[in-house]
Structure 1
């Protein structure tokens, strides 16, 4: 009798586990039958601002390092101003000399103008000869020319002084925008050629997400479509929106951060983070995108 009771209890337990197993199988089949939301792999890309100087010189000091957060108008580096200071000193001296020359020319011009006008009256009264009057006119015209030349020299020397001031200002270069120092290309003491980039900045607004999709997914995407971006180190997905969809297909790029097989023809898609300051990923870092 006891054996029959145990057998019945065993049969009921077996039936329960069998039903449970069947339920799990059904749930698994249902889950597998649902279309999964596509997850695409991509990477972070940045457009850099290359900071250079318009004048050549020796790098006096580099006040930033790669990875440093900088603010707009923060000093980045300075060049040796020795030659520029000398140019400014010379330009200032020329301006002062031109001012003295103008004063002399103006005084002589007024004197000879008065003499010419007086001789014109004397000529009418036949007190002086025509030759004397013509001589005073020639002297007046020469004085006028000298005065105009002195004024022209002053304008030129003031332009040189202004240029020298500008060149000194160019020796100290500040950040045009907030950003991160991505890299530096020179060290203090090195000679810099005019126009050569000394460092590069990465502005948060210039960070974008790049990924590639097969043609089968292209029709589901649109400009300004919201997406979610995942990457290592982020506590939560980053909101972004699609800003560019390539109009033509290309072959798979040489570097795609995924181990899954992809179709050979893909379309380049670019997306911009909604909140620029929230993304901490670095250019080249792989990301995953939820469409």
Structure 2
């Protein structure tokens, strides 16, 4: 088992006095759950927007680290994304309008040559039947017609292909590359944004751990924030009084600077008992155990970390 804090142990004889335990206050103290504000990557501290003791609100700037490397990385990833997007757009559009127009003109010329070749072939066929032309001339006209027909089919196919987008597998690869580049831009943008940290809750700047110009390691807190609800009350309850308490129950605390008693709500009761050293070897008093209890003050801003408190438990029913 664990040992209770020293000031609690010193108070033990007072706790075990003749006065009824449900009427005597228990010693306690205020403790804080600080929010440590850090950047995920290291760098030189460029700017501090707050000083110790400042009250901050959500989204209020706190500090900034130098960000030139992150800016350069983001610019490179944005350029790569633009390249990937252009390549994808090129695959989806087919040939440019000027290239399509050139193919169309070539096709019209080939079609005109085909019409002329057909007329020449028909004329040779007529002359051959009348005996005014040779078989060689007829064969030559047929060859010219077939060549013109093949040229027209070739240009028609080129025009059809030029109006199509890229192949499905090429399009899929281009889309995947574009998505990867976009994800990299988002990651680099986030890394750049993390160079400037903001408050995520209302609170008090308790301690600044670095000064402007110092190198801050990755993940090392630059400052500690005390949230407005970050103070909690800790005290130890003898095991014979533990049955009076339960989470959510309201207690009262007093302090030297407090005007009257303050309400607090129990948030945690330890499941493990702690021996008190002055009686640990006493067989008669071995049953004197204490349990750690934590409570949250119902009115924030009235207590400070480390402040000694008197804790008043509800009267036993």
TM-score (norm 2): 0.62
1:154 aligns to what SS in structure 2? helix
State the partner residue of 2:166.
Answer: 144
Moved more, 227-236 or 148-157: 148-157
User: Which residue of structure 2 aligns with residue 209 of structure 1?
Assistant: 233
**What's the counterpart of residue 156 of structure 1?**
180
- RMSD between aligned alpha carbons? 4.2
Deviation, 1:148, is 4.8
Q: Corresponding residue for 1:290?
A: 312
Aligned to 2:33: 47
Query: Closer, same or farther in 2 for the Cα pair 1:209/1:103, shift >3 Å?
Result: closer
Query: Which of the residues 43, 46, 52 maps onto 1:57?
Result: 43
Q: What is the CA–CA distance in structure 2 between the aligned matches of 1:189 and 1:206, rounded to whole Å?
A: 30
CA contact (8 A) 1:53 1:197 kept: yes
Distance of aligned partners of 1:84 and 1:223 in 2 relative to their CA distance in 1, 3 Å threshold = closer
The aligned counterpart of 1:85 is 71
Q: Unaligned regions of 5+ residues in structure 2, if any? A: 1-17, 104-145, 279-286
* 8 Å CA contact retained: 1:109, 1:147: no
Q: Deviations over 1:20-55 (max 9, x none)?
A: xxxxxxxxxxxxx98571111011122122211122
Q: Which residue of 1 aligns with 2:80?
A: 94
Contact 2:233 2:295 in 1 (8 A): yes
Q: Pick the structure with greater CA Rg.
A: 2
Query: Which residue of 2 is the match for residue 38 of structure 1?
Result: 24
Kindly indicate whether structure 1 or structure 2 has the higher relative contact order, using CA contacts under 8 Å at least 6 residues apart: 2
Say which is worse superposed, 67-76 or 212-221, in terms of deviation. Answer: 212-221
Q: Which protein is richer in strand relative to its size?
A: 1
Report SS of the residue matched to 2:228.
strand
Could you list the runs of 5+ residues in structure 1 that have no partner in the other structure? 1-32, 116-125, 255-262
Supply the distance in 1 between the matched residues of 2:220 and 2:31 (Cα, whole angstroms). 23
Aligned partners of 2:298, 2:29: CA distance in 1, in Å?
17
Contact 1:67 1:181 in 2 (8 A): yes
CA pair 70-202 structure 1, distance change in 2 beyond 3 A = same
CA drift at 1:205: 1.9
How far apart, CA to CA, are the structure 2 residues paired with 1:107 and 1:39?
A: 85
**Which deviations, in whole Å up to 9, do the C-alpha atoms of 1:234-267 show, x marking residues without a partner?**
222211122322233112389xxxxxxxx85211
> Which residue of structure 2 lines up, in the alignment, with residue 3 of structure 1?
none
Count of paired positions: 247
